[in-house]
Amino acid sequence: MSAAPPPCTLVQLLLPLRGADGQRWPRAMLDAVRDELSARFGGATAFVRAPAAGAWEDPGGEVQRDEGVPVEVMSGRLDRVWWAAYRATLEARFDQDEVLIRASAVERL
């Protein structure tokens, strides 16, 4: 019987496909995030061909819509301080109030 692989964390980011002016971000900006995460974590997947469509209600009660590119990274350790700083970097780079980053414990099979 083989030993179970160690637990790991799946980190998911949702990057905006367009700026506040409605123009698509250059593909190179999304590729740069994937490359940065790959260099740090040994790999990353950006789902650039299947953008996610989102909708939410703003504080004024109006429904806002946008499209985002999901990016995933698997890591053996979750460094919350590093992720908070990287989220701030992405928010500035993509001119966003918030870039969604979430983490889940996963089991590798």
Domains of the chain, residue spans: 8-54+66-106
The CATH architecture one would assign to domain 8-54+66-106 is 2-Layer Sandwich (3.30)
pLDDT of 108 over the 90 cut: no
The span from the CA of 43 to the CA of 35, in Å, is: 8
The CA-atom distances, in angstroms, between 86 and each of 7, 36, 98 are: 23, 10, 12
* Contact predicate 67/46, CB 8 Å: no
Collect all residues with Cβ–Cβ distance below 8 Å to 88 and sequence separation of at least 6.
none
What pLDDT score was predicted for residue 11? Answer: 97
pLDDT of 42 over the 70 cut: yes
| More confident site: 48 or 12 | 12
pLDDT in tens, 50-88: 778 877 788 888 887 778 899 999 998 899 999 999 999
